[in-house]
Amino acid sequence: MRPVLRARIPLTLPASRRAFTPSTLRPGIRQPPDSDTVRFPGAVESKFTHELSFHRPQDVPAMPTYRFINAEGVVVDKKSKLDIGKEKALKMYKDMVTASVMDLIMYDSQRQGRISFYMVSAGEEGIAVGSAAALHDEDVIYSQYREQGALMYRGYTLDEFMSQLFANKKDYGKGRNMPVHYMSERLRLFPISSPLATQIPHAVGAAYALKLDNSPNIVMCYFGEGAASEGDFHAALNIAATRDCPVVFLCRNNGYAISTPTLEQYKGDGIASRGIGYGIETIRVDGNDIMAVYAATKAARETASKRQKPVLIEAMSYRVSHHSTSDDSFAYRAKVDVEEWKRRDNPITRFRKWLEANNWWSGDEETALRTQTRKDVLRAFTKAEKESKPAVREIFTDVFKHATPELQEQREELRRIIEAYPEEYDLGEYDGGKAGI
């Protein structure tokens, strides 16, 4: 319906007015009589064929998965040079370990009812940390919710994680969001929200802003393979391509969207095959190989920054954890499969093998790191748990830039109720208690 309509309107305009628009200033597409090339405006590079044949997806080989080191930690890409020195490599390793240690502790704390919700990133630490390590500090990050390793690498502190998870008064979101919805203006980590894939077009808008600023920085945008089924994924990649936006899309393809296996998510060759359809340079990498993720992201960042083009990276992994603390994944997959994955390949152990082969890491250091990390996490945990919740008045602030009369009235109404029924409301845990309204 609509295309017809839209197409009709311009035709009624006077020709003189149309002459000023760029679309009509383009040279006409003319086709010589014996041309073997299609000159339809919608596909100018296409050749004519006299063979009636459909392009079958099964005839196109699956896109290969790039590896830098193999499962034994041995370098298999002999050509690419990576600028990962000892210091950087150890930071990457430590951040992966810290993310996994924090995950274990916070998962248990949710089970004990001390926080309301949690999502671990087990098996995907390499994707998050490896990609973040390839970014510049001023690059913008939009994430989904399973990228705590990236935030950690960027410099998000354990205190910041814990304040958000406990929704205390130091939480940047003022206790309004569920746990795991992190953000940081200081680190250019855009706020995580629950609706899936909505951040993908945001990232493209942010990338266009960087382009207009003539900035060398780029936007990194994370999402899962399930989120890539949302319309926002389609909209975003298409706009990114048509507007030449400096954005790197990183899809974590971990095989599951909650209970839905990829077989029920899509029928094509993963997410990577779609990038080509949008005219976007694309690579598929082994997400358990932090070096491959790093190498691919670094090259993608270069393309986005220098050539002002979007890039798509599909990082393959396996979600060894439950989807969240509200999910028991053994209801839809066999425990033995998960155990198998855990044993066979893990980004942390794989990278550790490489570090050990370089003599940059030892068993003793491993034990010390894990002990210290656990202590650090628990210290931040205890501190955040003791902190009070934000003041009750924060219910009403930040809806608009300035409170409207309606919101002021409603705040007064809540104050009146609390004063009229003091025994019905325990406000002790909120900052300032009753006075906090």
Partner 1 sequence: MVPARRCLLSLSSSSSLRPSLAKAFVSASSSPRSYSSPAAPTTKRKLNLPIDLNASSYLAQTPQQALSLPELPDSVKSSKTKRLNLYQAINDGLSTILETDPKSLIFGEDVSFGGVFRCTTTLLDRFGSQRVFNTPLTEQGIMGFAIGLSGSGYTALPEIQFADYLFPAFDQLHNEASKWRYRSGGAESFNSGNLVVRMPCGAVGHGGLYHSQSPEGFFLGMQGVKVVIPRGPIQAKGLLIAAARAGDPIVFMEPKILYRGAIEEVPVGEYELPIGKAEVLQKGKDVTLVSYGTLVYTCEMAAKAAKEKLGVEVEVIDLRTVHPWDKKTVVDSVNKTGRCVVVHEASRTGGIGESVGAEVQERCFLRLEAPVTRITGWDTPMPLVFESLIVPDVARIFDGIKRVIEY
Q: Closest distance between partner 1 and the C-beta of residue 174, in Å? A: 4
Considering beta carbons, is residue 19 or 331 the nearer one to partner 1? Answer: 19
Q: Closest distance between partner 1 and the C-beta of residue 349, in Å? A: 37
Considering beta carbons, is residue 98 or 163 the nearer one to partner 1? Answer: 163
Considering beta carbons, is residue 8 or 343 the nearer one to partner 1? Answer: 8
**What is the token pair recorded at 114?**
């001390």
Q: Closest distance between partner 1 and the C-beta of residue 254, in Å? A: 24
According to DSSP, the residues that pair with 37 across neighbouring strands are 47
Single-letter residue type at 99: A
Q: Closest distance between partner 1 and the C-beta of residue 170, in Å? A: 10
Considering beta carbons, is residue 193 or 260 the nearer one to partner 1? Answer: 193
Residue numbers of the site for partner 1 (CB under 8 A)? 1-6, 8-10, 12-14, 17-18, 20-24, 140, 171-174, 176-177, 181, 183, 185, 190-191, 193, 195, 198, 200-210, 212, 231-232, 234-236, 238-239, 242-243, 394, 397-402, 404-406
In whole angstroms, give the CA distance from residue 14 to residue 26: 18
Considering beta carbons, is residue 10 or 268 the nearer one to partner 1? Answer: 10
Considering beta carbons, is residue 21 or 358 the nearer one to partner 1? Answer: 21
Single-letter residue type at 200: I
286, 297, 207: which is closest to 244 by C-alpha? Answer: 207
In whole angstroms, give the CA distance from residue 153 to residue 134: 10
In whole angstroms, give the CA distance from residue 432 to residue 429: 9
393 Cβ neighbours under 8 A, 6+ residues apart: 411, 436, 437
Q: Closest distance between partner 1 and the C-beta of residue 178, in Å? A: 10
Residue 66 DSSP SS3 = strand
In whole angstroms, give the CA distance from residue 11 to residue 101: 64
According to DSSP, the residues that pair with 47 across neighbouring strands are 37
**What is the token pair recorded at 197?**
């894939």
Q: Closest distance between partner 1 and the C-beta of residue 164, in Å? A: 10
